[in-house]
């Protein structure tokens, strides 16, 4: 019998040998656990470019997404067993520049893909082919759907019980995920109220179809809700926490539902938690037959592909605005390069962004692709 030639995977990479992929790259690494992102994370200049295994893609990242939870990750709040150093960044969009033999059944070099996987704050990331999402082109708008869009879509579908005429309150409505909660609630023929921190954000929300915007810097949210919605609101999409959580809870209608997406107001605290008035919670829920539901995307991965497919189709049809904020209006200008991830995280916590914050990673022009 003919002997089977045992070739190492490095020989199977399509277009890997002799291509313009460098041997080293820049990436961000958590070197110390801290809720202070600048303190926790180090920019490494000469990390080795990882090699894809048999079922993997090597993706050259072109755009990476900033998430509020990046700080929770750098503080070690998701998995206490993980010790520094570890890679950071949750999502990216880029080109396939090399791949393993099995992965080549479904993908080719040069193909545009998006993915959700830890380690996107790097010039190159290895992504299992089964976790990648093929795209028609490399566009930052696709990145807005991966975590932010999917979170709004799945949580409202599974927990929101939206129907025509329901009153839906979206906090941080002009942010990365809030923009989708507003649009999806409008598509369900709901009456949508959005809180935001500037008139510019209020104007953006109106273009999305938001029925009532509340600028909490110039208006008292509690007073507005009590006056304009005396019966309360049916669903709250809540990602701020602290005082906003208490206020939203008090504003629930009978049988109202509050969906906790996050509590960004506390992420920079040592505990990660903003204080809330929880001791009255049982009485408040009982009095209104109301409920609070938490939503964490990782627990709904069985719904993920279907949700993303719908979102991509809506965007391609022009039915979904995917607002991207590159930080053009930030003091030091647009977020370009891994160095600017630090600025982008600061920008988000200052509440400056309209839409999803995205960092562009330039790549050298001498590349084949």
**pLDDT number for residue 15:** 46
Packing angle, helices 221-228 and 243-250, rounded to 10:
10
Number of alpha helices (DSSP H) and beta strands (DSSP E) in the chain: 11, 16
DSSP H or E run through 69: helix 69-74
User: Is the Cβ–Cβ distance between 252 and 236 less than 8 Å?
Assistant: yes
**pLDDT number for residue 276:** 94
Could you tell me the residue range of the domain that residue 292 belongs to? 146-299
Q: Are residues 127 and 207 in the same domain?
A: no
Does residue 368 lie within any of the structural domains? no
Q: Are residues 128 and 24 in the same domain?
A: yes
pTM (two decimals) = 0.93
**pLDDT number for residue 364:** 59
Does residue 308 lie within any of the structural domains? no
CA distance 127 to 81: 23
Q: Are residues 161 and 110 in the same domain?
A: no
Which residues pair with residue 157 across a beta bridge? none
**pLDDT number for residue 190:** 98
Hey, what are 339's tokens? 């160095």
Which residues pair with residue 63 across a beta bridge? 93, 360
Instruction: Provide the mean pLDDT of the chain.
Output: 93
**pLDDT number for residue 79:** 87
* Tens-place pLDDT, residues 238-279: 999 999 999 999 999 999 999 999 999 999 999 999 999 989
Q: How many domains does the chain have?
A: 2
Q: Are residues 161 and 126 in the same domain?
A: no
Q: Are residues 355 and 281 in the same domain?
A: no
Q: Are residues 222 and 284 in the same domain?
A: yes
Q: Are residues 38 and 87 in the same domain?
A: yes
CA distance 69 to 239: 11
Sheet holding 252-260, edge to edge: 212-215, 191-196, 167-170, 233-238, 252-260, 291-294
Does residue 4 lie within any of the structural domains? no
Does residue 117 lie within any of the structural domains? yes
Q: Which residues of the chain have pLDDT under 50?
A: 4-18, 365-369
Hey, what are 133's tokens? 């999402």
**pLDDT number for residue 5:** 43
CATH number of domain containing 74: 3.90.180.10
Q: Are residues 112 and 153 in the same domain?
A: no
CA distance 147 to 91: 8
């Amino acid at each position: 019998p003919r002997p089977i030639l045992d070739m190492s995977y490095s020989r199977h990479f399509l277009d890997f040998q002799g291509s313009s992929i460098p041997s080293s790259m820049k990436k961000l690494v958590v070197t110390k656990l801290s809720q202070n992102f600048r303190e926790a994370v180090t920019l490494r200049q000469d990390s080795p470019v990882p090699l894809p295994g048999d079922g993997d893609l090597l993706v050259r990242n072109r755009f990476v997404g900033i998430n509020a939870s990046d700080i929770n990750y750098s503080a070690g709040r998701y998995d206490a067993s993980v010790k520094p150093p570890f890679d950071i960044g949750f999502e990216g969009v880029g080109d396939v520049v090399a791949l393993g033999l099995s992965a080549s059944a479904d993908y080719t070099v040069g193909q545009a893909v998006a993915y959700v996987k830890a380690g996107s704050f790097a010039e190159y990331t290895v992504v299992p082919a089964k976790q990648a999402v093929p795209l028609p082109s490399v566009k930052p708008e696709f990145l807005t759907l991966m975590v932010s869009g999917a979170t709004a879509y799945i949580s409202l579908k599974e927990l929101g019980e939206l129907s025509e005429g329901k009153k839906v309150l979206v906090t941080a409505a002009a942010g990365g995920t809030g923009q989708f909660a507003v649009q999806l609630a409008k598509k369900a023929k709901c009456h949508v109220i959005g809180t935001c921190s500037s008139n510019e954000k209020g104007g953006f929300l109106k273009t999305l179809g938001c029925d009532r915007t509340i600028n909490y810097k110039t208006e008292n949210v509690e007073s507005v809700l009590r006056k304009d919605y005396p019966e309360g609101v049916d669903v709250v999409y809540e990602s701020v926490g602290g005082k906003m959580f208490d206020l939203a809870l008090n504003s629930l209608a009978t049988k109202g539902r509050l969906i906790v997406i996050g509590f960004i107001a506390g992420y920079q605290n040592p505990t990660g938690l903003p204080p809330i008035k929880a001791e009255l919670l049982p009485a408040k829920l009982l009095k209104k037959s109301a409920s609070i539901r938490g939503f964490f995307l990782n627990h709904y991965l069985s719904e993920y592909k279907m949700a993303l497919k719908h979102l991509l189709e809506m965007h391609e049809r022009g039915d979904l605005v995917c607002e991207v904020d590159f930080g053009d209006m930030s003091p030091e200008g647009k977020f370009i390069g891994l160095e600017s991830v630090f600025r982008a995280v600061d920008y988000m916590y200052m509440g400056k962004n309209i839409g999803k914050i995205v960092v562009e990673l330039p790549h050298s022009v001498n590349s084949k692709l």
